[in-house]
Structure 1
Amino acid sequence: MTTTKDSIHIQLYPFLLARKNFYQILHTLFLEPAKDNFLFDEGLVRNFDELKEVHEGGRILADAFEHLTSNEKVNIEREEYWRLFVGPGVLVAPPWESYYRSKEHLLFEEWTLQVRELYHQFGLQSIQENNEPEDHLLLEFEFMIFLIELSLQALDIEKIQELISKQIDLLQEHLTIWIPEFCKRVMDHTTSRLYLGAAMVLEDFLNFDLTSLLEIKEAVENV
């Protein structure tokens, strides 16, 4: 016999799985471009073929993927990736939370330590701890994906509630605070259709994801 709590778990599964897949897409978009990476992944291209019908950033990304058909074009995007996010030189869109939340735009500030502590609570540790800031965009995405995976594996609704609360905290206390400014910098300083579209999709998705999670949390608590 299926209980109400079991039913809620079953209903949440597609929602959680879709979120995990989208965070993985976002993670891939902000990896360094390479021919054997996402730029030639037909599955990823199909995702933005669907998104382009409802979102301008998705339309721009679909167009970008359609034209990324040679090593030369991939190399152009790789150069832009380094200019925006890696260096050398002054970065126009540093991908670390502390940069945006520190008045002096410093790294390894309190926000780095906060996310490090979050990782440690779940037995996670960056292999570059103390050498590279753990509040990097990709690491925070990876942590969200990890939390969603735990939610998908959880066997009781109380554990899912706890994990959803952690994901809400990650969005409210970290991702939605600094990533909008990061996205704005990307949009203001790139002519790349790839990174313009990626930034537009990222900015809007985080707000949508937070709203959806808050609604889910309320619904589950009322069961």
Structure 2
Amino acid sequence: MTTTTEPLHTQLQPFFLSRKKYYQLLHLLFSEPANIETLFEIRNNGNIPELEEIHDGGKILLDFFERMTDEQIKKEYEEYQRLFIGPGPLVAPPWESYYRSKEQLLFEEWTYQIREQYHLFGLQYKNENNEPDDHLLLELEFMHFLVDLCLQETMSDRIVELISSQIHFLEKHLTMWVPYFCKRIIEHTNSQLYLGAAMLLEDLLTFDLTTLLEVREALPDVR
């Protein structure tokens, strides 16, 4: 990477494009499966066959999408409600504070840390103060947003800053609670969709953090 004369943003563009695609996939996998079109979009555009070759969660997801029917989608919608929304006690609450608070409460300090990160980049959750800012989908959207900024940026020092911001967000937030969230799903669902999604989510976040650290280490600007 550092021996070529190409600008840094040109060298890193394929890397950022790949990461953007995977964050889009993770967001779709954990969005409400309200209709067949959403699941077909995942099947057709989510690189599932590629993931199937390298990851057990990808294998489970590919099997699900190859057997997908209207009746199965109805069952997945019901499972989504049971796992993440309710009514009743949630199997896998999708908020960071739940896993990091001793009392398993929402709107704890991590919610406000997340909000501060959003505000630093000029972002504000539309339901701020009414719903927690540390929902899984919002945190994945934020990572997707940061990757997009990397794709748009041409200044090397700014790209390095954005990489560091993503490392910080993964280290201090997503990788701190998502493994516990995924564990609850894996232990309490028979759904191929959510079993595969949980396995993939945890491993992709860990892999992304490791890769970003390696990329930053290879950049002369941060030595």
Matches within 5 A, 1:119-130: 119-130=118-129
CA distance in 1: counterparts of 2:48 and 2:4, whole angstroms: 36
- 1:29 aligned onto 2:25: no
CA distance in 2: counterparts of 1:82 and 1:37, whole angstroms: 18
1:173 equivalent in structure 2:
172
CA-CA distance at 1:4 after TM superposition: 5.9
Size of the aligned set, in residue pairs, is: 219
Per-residue CA distance 1:82-105 (angstroms, 9 max, x = gap):
000000000010000000000000
- Could you tell me which amino acid in structure 2 is paired with residue 84 of structure 1? L
Contact 2:36–2:73 (8 Å) recurs in 1: no
User: Unaligned stretches of 5+ in structure 1?
Assistant: none
1:208 equivalent in structure 2:
207
CA distance in 2: counterparts of 1:5 and 1:137, whole angstroms: 39
User: Unaligned stretches of 5+ in structure 2?
Assistant: none
CA distance in 2: counterparts of 1:145 and 1:190, whole angstroms: 27
CA distance in 1: counterparts of 2:5 and 2:158, whole angstroms: 12
CA distance in 1: counterparts of 2:173 and 2:5, whole angstroms: 30
Contact 1:116–1:125 (8 Å) recurs in 2: yes
CA-CA distance at 1:37 after TM superposition: 3.7
CA distance in 2: counterparts of 1:199 and 1:150, whole angstroms: 27
CA distance in 2: counterparts of 1:39 and 1:207, whole angstroms: 25
- Could you tell me which amino acid in structure 2 is paired with residue 206 of structure 1? L
CA distance in 2: counterparts of 1:214 and 1:122, whole angstroms: 21
CA distance in 2: counterparts of 1:56 and 1:115, whole angstroms: 31
CA distance in 1: counterparts of 2:124 and 2:9, whole angstroms: 29
Using the size of structure 2 for normalisation, the TM-score is 0.94
CA distance in 2: counterparts of 1:161 and 1:6, whole angstroms: 16
Using the size of structure 1 for normalisation, the TM-score is 0.94
2:38 equivalent in structure 1:
38
Matches within 5 A, 1:1-16: 6-16=6-16
CA distance in 1: counterparts of 2:114 and 2:209, whole angstroms: 18
- Could you tell me which amino acid in structure 1 is paired with residue 143 of structure 2? M
**3-state SS of 1:25 partner:** helix
1:65 equivalent in structure 2:
65
Contact 1:107–1:133 (8 Å) recurs in 2: yes
CA distance in 2: counterparts of 1:153 and 1:127, whole angstroms: 24
Per-residue CA distance 1:55-77 (angstroms, 9 max, x = gap):
1100000011111122x211100
Task: Report percent identity of matched pairs.
Answer: 61
